[in-house]
Structure 1
């Protein structure tokens, strides 16, 4: 950047071009552009991870020893995954800078917590749904939905009057709750299943009388 803060107010951006072309407000144009990029990225990732090298990258994350035993160079798959992830980080950072109209050297602070919270919330929503998210495409979509839900929670908390300087605490609480909710929900479902099975089980037959022994 060359300096700590770079304004983009007088620079033509993707969002300003969409606003000028459609006449829509800035916030609506930001939502539309964000949805388009999210859909394109989900489709592209779904296609890539369905290929042979993409499947190898996914398998490396699940069981590196097994993938190495199958003759796959895990160093290459790790490098591909890191390159892909950092490319997506750069793309999202560029979109955020153009949307907000400036670039600040501290804008990425806490982004890891936000990403973790988005993934965890998406997984929780997937577990709580009746059908549950099992396919890879559904999990990609759940990550995007989780990020939207995360920022909605933050906006609601700020509207309730909490100090904006406590956002790190809010993020930590959201992640903790998202990690605890599925565990509590699974235990609740397990107890309900035990209670139903106990009610459905037949009564224990009475002990035989002495004459029948």
Structure 2
């Protein structure tokens, strides 16, 4: 794997690290299986790209994309909490609706940003090539978002959100408004995913209605890989593990696709993804029985 492929994998891994954080917040913290991310990721790209092409400042366009993602998460939360639709089905309904919404926003299947200003434009005069500038900017953005999420989860409101996901009945008994907390968590989750979509569009020079396909799998793979590789103790370590899991996941895919011995092609990306996710799920289960056997063997 050459330098271009390596830095490209780091760049994509950092962007999808935002998706991993969103998935961690919904799946792990709120215990809310959310497939909205397959729609909110391209939603962020669509909103940002359309506004930039229309002459809006890239930073304002990115902020609008974040707000749009938050609204998408709120729709899923309302369908579940207000109307009693099963959370998984509610997220699927929102995801399906967002496909048409994204087409409406862009007016066509894709929007090109190659000649348009982006969030990278103000930093291009620093003398760094795009090869290094994109991963560096991605790292700064992801580090700031990760620090904010880690701080939020250890605040009183963050603790109430964690309690809501762990035991809603107990949380309600303690006076926590679980419905409102869940709605806020879903909005935050999809806002981060939409931010990832907006950065993806600006770093790659296009927004496409199909870029969200399989986003939930990528996010889950990053979360599971991070938890499988690193011993997660506390939310701060869990947040870091999600980001590192996302980067390692993209590096593993890049290595697999660039290994001539394996003979894999770009068309095999979904196969490689499925295998990596399966291994991430299997490995923790393989480790635990061995640990149990050693523990039993040590007993007198």
Q: Same fold (TM over 0.5)?
A: yes
Specify the SS of the correspondent of 1:66.
Answer: helix
Q: Which residue of 2 aligns with 1:17?
A: 122
Listed as ranges, the gaps of 5+ residues in structure 2 are 1-105
Q: Which residue of 2 aligns with 1:187?
A: 289
Listed as ranges, the gaps of 5+ residues in structure 1 are 127-131, 202-213
Q: Which residue of 1 aligns with 2:108?
A: 3
- Equivalent pairs counted in the alignment come to 192
Specify the SS of the correspondent of 2:120.
Answer: helix
Contact kept, 8 Å, 1:122 with 1:142, in 2: the verdict is yes
TM-score computed with the length of structure 2 as normaliser: 0.61
Q: Which residue of 2 aligns with 1:163?
A: 265
Specify the SS of the correspondent of 1:6.
Answer: strand
**1:151-201 superposed Cα distances (whole Å, 9 cap, x missing partner):** 111111111231322322222211111011111112223323334x26xx5
- In 2, the alpha carbon distance for the partners of 1:61 and 1:165 equals 38
1:78 is displaced (CA, Å) by 0.9
1:96 is displaced (CA, Å) by 0.5
Q: Which residue of 2 aligns with 1:78?
A: 182
TM-score computed with the length of structure 1 as normaliser: 0.85
Answer with 1 or 2: which has the greater Rg. Answer: 1
Specify the SS of the correspondent of 1:14.
Answer: coil
Q: Which residue of 1 aligns with 2:224?
A: 120
How big is the alpha-carbon RMSD for the aligned residues of Structure 1 and Structure 2?
1.5
**1:75-120 superposed Cα distances (whole Å, 9 cap, x missing partner):** 1011101110111111111101111011111111100000000000
Q: Among 150, 172, 177, which residue is 1:68 paired with? A: 172
Contact kept, 8 Å, 1:46 with 1:137, in 2: the verdict is yes
- In 2, the alpha carbon distance for the partners of 1:194 and 1:27 equals 52
Specify the SS of the correspondent of 2:238.
Answer: helix
Q: Which residue of 2 aligns with 1:41?
A: 145
Specify the SS of the correspondent of 2:207.
Answer: strand
- In 2, the alpha carbon distance for the partners of 1:135 and 1:83 equals 22
